[in-house]
Amino acid sequence: MAAEQKLRTYSDEEIQERLKDLPGWYLEEGWIRKKFNTDGWPTTLMLVNAIGYLAEAAYHHPDLAVTWGKVWVKLKTHASGGVTDNDFSLARKIDEVALWRPEPGGTLTGTPNKFVHAK
């Protein structure tokens, strides 16, 4: 197997600028992070599984912290020693999937519960 290519890492200032396009994500201790709130344990587990599916499909794995109604996601590229384009791409995809809701007036009505939301 070929050695993994080291990707370009971003400075804290560059990360802060790029995070402007990712609402709710923030930089802390060299990771980009986001907290998702859920309406309870079943939804938390569904969210963790959705993130796990995306991470494995991307072959880029975040660190997760999980409690009853919350999931914290932490991203950085270990092989490169910092935050890379991979982290921003996966963060964007996680938001897209985790926060997706049916279009108003569409055929899908959506859950009446709080479900998953970010603060």
Q: Is residue 75 part of a domain?
A: yes
Q: Is residue 12 part of a domain?
A: no
Q: Is residue 79 part of a domain?
A: yes
Q: Is residue 2 part of a domain?
A: no
Q: Which residues constitute the domain of residue 27?
A: 19-102+110-118
DSSP the chain: -PPPPPPPPPPHHHHHHHHTTSTT-EEETTEEEEEEEESSHHHHHHHHHHHHHHHHHHT---EEEEETTEEEEEE-BGGGTB--HHHHHHHHHHHHHHT--PPTTSS----SS--EEE-
- At residue 4 the predicted structure's pLDDT band, cuts being 50, 70 and 90, is low
Q: Based on the structure, what is the number of domains in the chain?
A: 1
CATH code of the domain covering residue 98: 3.30.1360.20
Look up the pTM and report it: 0.92
Q: Is residue 35 part of a domain?
A: yes
pLDDT tens, 30-79?
999 999 999 999 999 999 999 999 999 999 999 999 999 999 999 999 99
CA–CA dist 62, 39 (Å, integer): 22
